[in-house]
Amino acid sequence: MIRVAVAGATGRMGSEVCRAVAADPELDLVAAVSRSAAGAALGDTIGLDGEAASVVLVEHLDEMLDAGIDVLVDFTGPAYAPDHVAWAIANGVHVVVGTTGFEIDEAWRDAPVGVVVAPNFAIGAVLLMRFAEQAARFLPSAEVIELHHDRKIDAPSGTALLTARRIAAARDGAPAAPTHDGEGPGARGVDVDGVRVHSVRLPGLVAHEEVVFGGQGQTLTLRHDSMDRTSFMPGVLLAIKAVPGRPGLTEGLEPLLGV
């Protein structure tokens, strides 16, 4: 049984992670962090039933040390995640990070514990990036459109940035499509290694990405849609179960999926 703690437990993603962990027979949700609801019971805060409902939310990570945590899952914000990873490493706790918008510390590669950092835990999104990487070898002109809910802080998203960089790397020196901002600066999106990335933030959205490739007389469109945050949970659970056996840094779900 893997003993799990969740940082950002009352957020939109964190609460789904708590429910998924609590429902998995191989995992035990033993601690949770929420700066906004510290002192409350997890069950009362997010409507969770079962043994995990009695977990009392704490404000600081150090308050969880007596819980005997094996894995910390972080869905907080870019201002907090790097410090949470450092805390986990210092305390011998494996960590799974779904927070985006921060730079990875290269020292994590040599960490004695497992550190899994993924910009997207939806398996379909991971496959989209892999397919885009393959398509870029044959259709090097591409643009990325990512759409998220209006509360997402970072833009472009971590998934879109990684997708663009993988497309650029797969081009093997092929030129990007000619483009410019013309008289509307910013209208062409942000340039990421020669790939234009466009961000949309609207209520009603969850997480969506579209990659459009252009070639002579043809286009190819790849699209992934997360209609509900539960779409990320299979990937999160996979990472929690795999991270104790992967010391050092693992970027993305691809190594865990074998793709």
Is 60 annotated in the active site?
no
Q: In this model, does residue 7 exceed pLDDT 90?
A: yes
Of the residues 94, 148, 208, 224, only one is catalytic, namely 148
pLDDT tens readout for residues 73-84:
999 999 999 999
Of the residues 60, 84, 149, 152, only one is catalytic, namely 152
| pLDDT number for residue 214 | 93
pLDDT above 70 as % of the chain: 96
Q: In this model, does residue 202 exceed pLDDT 90?
A: yes
| pLDDT number for residue 177 | 60
- Which region among 44-53, 60-69, 213-222, 228-237 has the lowest average model confidence (pLDDT)? 44-53
Domains of the chain: 2-117+229-257 (3.40.50.720), 123-226 (3.30.360.10)
Distance CA 7, CA 57 (A): 10
Evaluate the CA torsion angle 167, 168, 170, 176 in order and state its sign: positive
| pLDDT number for residue 47 | 87
> What is the four-CA torsion angle of 132, 233, 203, 188, rounded to 10 degrees?
-20
Distance CA 159, CA 129 (A): 8
| pLDDT number for residue 179 | 66
pLDDT band at 235; cut points 50, 70, 90? very high
Distance CA 104, CA 73 (A): 16
Is 152 annotated in the active site?
yes
pTM listed for this prediction: 0.84
